[in-house]
Amino acid sequence: MQELREDFVLAGGDVNSEKSTAPFIIQFSPRALDHLKAFPKRDQQIILHAIQVHLTIDPDRETRRKKKLEENVLAPWELRVGNFRVFYDIDQENRLVVIVAIGKKDHNILHIEGKEIHL
């Protein structure tokens, strides 16, 4: 696993995929990196793997894991990874996914940086 630094970027996708479009690059905001670093290493690996698998190809296609959100203070999209939630925005023109926040959901309560967040 790469070191989690401010310039942390995940390249992803399967270059041999049936799709002819290039995979999206995953970029983390400084705050999202802080959120990620707050989790134990094993949880970080689970989250990073899910981001690479689910957001490098078709990040804007809704699935059971990926959901377009109503307007809110965090981001337009959510990736569900077990109890974890990854909030992201998409720059189609530059084929870039920007991770803006990462939290954990306990029942109906979302926690980011130890604070309860209401969407």
The CATH code of the domain that includes 34 is 3.30.2310.20
- The answer as to whether 89 is a domain residue is yes
- pTM metric for this prediction: 0.84
> What is the domain extent for residue 33?
9-117
- The answer as to whether 2 is a domain residue is no
In the chain, % helix, strand, coil (3-state, to 5) comes to 20, 35, 45
- The answer as to whether 3 is a domain residue is no
As a whole number, the mean pLDDT across the chain is 88
CA-wise closest residue to 86 among 100, 96, 97: 100
- The answer as to whether 60 is a domain residue is yes
- The answer as to whether 77 is a domain residue is yes
- The answer as to whether 4 is a domain residue is no
Count of the separate structural domains present in the chain = 1
Distances (CA, A) of 47 to 21, 82, 93: 24, 9, 25
pLDDT in tens, 63-111: 999 999 999 989 999 999 999 999 999 999 999 999 999 999 998 899 9
- The answer as to whether 1 is a domain residue is no
- The answer as to whether 106 is a domain residue is yes
* Contact (CB, 8 A) for 74 and 101: yes
Tell me how long the chain is: 119
